[in-house]
Structure 1
Amino acid sequence: MEIIPLQYPLTAHAPAIEAVPKTLAIGHFDGVHRGHQNVIRRAVEAARVAGLQSAVMTFHPHPKEVLGQGEQYVTCLTPLDEKVERFRRLGVDIVYVVHFDIAFAAVSPSEFVDDVLRPLAVKKAIVGFDFSFGSRGAGKTDTLRALGQPDIAVEIVEPLMLNDRKVSSTHIREALAEGQPETAEQLLGEPYAIRGTVVHGEGRGRTIGYPTANIEPEAAYVMPRQGVYAIMAEVKGKRISGVLNIGVKPTFHDQLPKPVMEAHLFDFNSDLYGQSLTIRFISFLRKEKKFGSIDELIAQINSDALQAREVLSAYK
C-alpha cells in the first residue's frame, strides 16, 4: 500500500501524484469503525470490478480541530498511523493524507472536485450518506454527484445502524466516556485500544503484591471513563490479560495533574520499561474510589483481579 501526503493546491506537489484511474473513499474516518469500513470496502470492491486501483482520502489534522469547532477533536480514536494500518488491512492500494489547514478549509466544492479529485484521476468516489465538503461544508452528496458529471461517478453508502442508532465516531466517544467498552467494540468491530509506552511510576504496586505497568499514551487518544477495566494487552506479539486503572489514585494523592493508566498483567513478570504495548479495553469493572487503608485497597484489587479473570476467560 502506498501512502501519499497531499497539500492544497496539488500543483505544488505534482511530482508526487500519479494520475492512475482509481476509486476513492473520502472521509476523516476517525476510528475506522464498521460504518467507515463499509465505505472503504465498497471502494475496494468497485476498484476490483472495474480493474482500477482503490484509494482512501483522509484528512490530518481533524478539520474540526483546525476550525476550532470542538476541543474534543484534539483527541482521536485512531492516530494517523493506526488509521492507515486499518486501511491496509481492508485491502486499500493508496492512501492520500491531505494536510487540512485554513487554506484547504476555504476551498469551494467545485474547486475540490476540479482541483483535487480530477487531477488524481478519480473515476468513482464513494462517500457516506452524511458526507460534506468544501468551504463551511457547503457541498453535500447531491453536490458531489452534480459536480462529478460526466467523468466521476459517485456512490453514496447508507448508514450502518446498531440498536436503532447510526454507527458513528461520536457514538463511540460517548460510549467510552460512559464506561461502555463493550458498546465501543460493537461499533468498531474490535476492542477500543490505546498504544502506550511503559514509564517509571511510583513503584507502589510491587510493594503490595500487584506490580503495575505505568502507561504513557503515545498519542492524544480519547480516554475512556476513569475507573477499573478488564483488559487484554499486546506485548511483543503476545496477548496477556490483566486489569487496568485509569485515574488519580485518590487513596494516595489529594490531587494529580492528570489521570494515569496503570495495568497489572496476570502471570507476567518481565521488565517492560521503555517498551510499547497496546491496551485493549474489554469491560468496565467499577469506578475509582478512595480507600481508608492499604488493606482495604488490596482486598479490592484482589476482587478486581478475580472479576477480570472471569470476564476475560469468556472473551474470545
Structure 2
Amino acid sequence: MDLKIIHLGFPLDRALLPSDSSRQVLAIGDFDGTHRGHQDVIRRALRIGREEQLPVAIMSFHPHPREILGLSQYGQYLTPLEEKLRLFEQMGVDTAYVVKFTPEFAKLAPETFISDMLIPMGLHTIVVGFDFNFGYRGAGSVSTLREFCLPDINVDMVPPYMAEGEKVSSTRIRNLLEKGNVSEAAELLGRPYSLYGEVVGGDQRGRTIGFPTANLKLHEPFIVPAKGVYAVRAYIGDKRFGGVMNIGVKPTFTENTVPSLEVHLFDFDRSIYGETVRVDFLSFIRAERKFSSVQELIDQIGKDAQTAKSFYF
C-alpha cells in the first residue's frame, strides 16, 4: 500500500482533500523521531480505523514549528520529512497531510485551526498525545479540541510512553544522540537511529591504510550523533553490511572544521560513488582522539572493527 501525501496550507484548499474524506481517523502531531510515544498515538489511530472500517491519516507540520518560532536546535531533525513519511507508510497509514508551518499559521487562534482546518476534513476521530498543544502560543489543548469537536468528532488522548520513570520525547532522544548514546536512543525510538546520504569523494586516506571508507554527504538535515566511532549496520539497495563509522575531524592527520561521516564496511570492495547508503547506529565504541602515529591509528581501527563485528554478527 502506498502512502498518499497531501500538502496543505492555510487557508485550507478543500479541493486538495480526497473525495472520500467525509469519514476518516486523524492523528495529529509533529512526530519528529516517530519514537515509541508517537507510535502509540499512530497505533491508536490505526486500531480505531480498523474497528470503524475507516481510513487513517496523519496531520504533521513542516518545517518543525519550533524552527519557525526561533528555536535554532530544530534546524536538524531526528526524522526529516522524507524519513518521517517513510515510517508512516511502514506503519500502515493511508494518508499524510503535511501542513506548511509559517509565522502566519503560528498565529492562528486554536478555535480557527479547528473550524477552518479540522472540521472541513469531515473527521470521525482525532487522536493526539497527552501533551498536544496548538494555536497561537500553544493556547489550545486536548480540552480545547473536545470543547469544539464533540459530539460531532471524537477526540482520543493517548497517555505518555514512559521509560525508566521519564516520558519518551524527541528532546530526550536528541540529548542522548548529542552524547553519543545511540543504544539508549534506539530503546526510546523502538529501532536504531539511522541516517542516509550519498557517497562522495574523500581524501582516499582510509584505503592507503587498509581501511577504505565511504564518505557520506547527508541527503537531509539529520541530527548527527556526537563525534566518535560507532558500530553500524549499513544498507546499499537491498544489501546489508556490518561496519564501523567514524564521525569527526580526523585529528591524527588534519583538524577539519566540519566533522565528516565515514563508514568502513566489512567484506566489501567495490566503488559506490554516487550511491545512497543508509546507516543504522548500533553502539558507541569510543570517542575520537588524536594518535601519536599512523600505525597506532591503524591498530586501533582494527580493534574498533572487531568490536563492531561483535554487535553486528
In the superposition, the TM-score normalised over structure 2's length comes to 0.97
* Structure 1, gaps ≥5 residues long: none
Alignment root-mean-square deviation, CA: 0.9
In the TM superposition, what whole-angstrom CA distance separates every residue of 1:11-59 from its partner, at most 9, and x where no partner exists? Answer: xx22111332111100000011111011011111111211221110000
The one-letter amino acid paired with 2:36 is R
1:214-273 Cα deviation digits (max 9, x unpaired): 0111111111010000000001211100101000000111x3121001111000001110
Alignment of structure 1 residues 36-185 onto 2, 5 Å: 36-68=38-70, 70-185=71-186
* Cα pair 2:14 2:120 within 8 Å, conserved: no
Question: Structure 1, residues 187-235: CA drift from partner, whole Å, max 9, x if none?
Answer: 1111000111100000001111110100111111111010000000001
Query: Do structure 1's residue 28 and structure 2's residue 46 form an aligned pair?
Result: no
The answer to whether residue 199 in structure 2 is matched with residue 207 in structure 1 is: no
1:310 and 2:304 matched: no
**Paired position in structure 1 for 2:297:** 297
Q: Distance in 2 between matches of 1:238 and 1:176?
A: 26
Q: What SS is found at the alignment partner of 1:98? A: strand
What is the aligned residue count? 309
The answer as to whether partners of 2:127 and 2:155 remain within 8 angstroms in 1 is yes
**Aligned position for 2:5:** 3
Q: Is the 8 A contact 2:25 2:45 kept in 1?
A: yes
Runs of 4+, deviation exceeding 3 Å: none
Q: Who is 1:226 aligned against?
A: 227
- In structure 1, the residue matched to 2:238 is 237
| TM-fit CA distance, 1:6 | 0.3
Aligned-pair identity in percent equals 49
Preserved contact between residue 22 and residue 121 of structure 2 (Cα < 8 Å): yes
Letter of the 1:195 partner, please give it: Y
Other structure's SS at 2:268 match = coil
CA contact (8 A) 2:198 2:217 kept: yes
For structure 2, list consecutive stretches of 5 or more residues without a partner in the other structure: none
SS in 1 for 2:131: coil
Shift of residue 81, structure 1, vs aligned partner: 1.2
User: How far does residue 135 in structure 1 lie from its aligned partner after superposition?
Assistant: 0.6
Write the distance in 2 (CA, Å) between the matches of 1:311 and 1:5: 40
CA offsets per residue over residues 110-151 of structure 1, 9 Å max, x none? 111110111111121100000000011000111111111221
Measure, in 2, the Cα distance between the counterparts of 1:162 and 1:227: 26
Q: CA deviation at 1:179?
A: 1.2
1:271-286 alignment runs, 5 A limit: 271-286=271-286
Aligned-partner Cα distance in 1 for 2:289–2:171: 28
Asked if structure 2 preserves the Cα contact closer than 8 Å seen for 1:20 and 1:53, the reply is no
Q: Residues of 1 paired with 2:119 and 2:142: CA distance?
A: 17
**Secondary structure, counterpart of 1:119 in structure 2:** helix
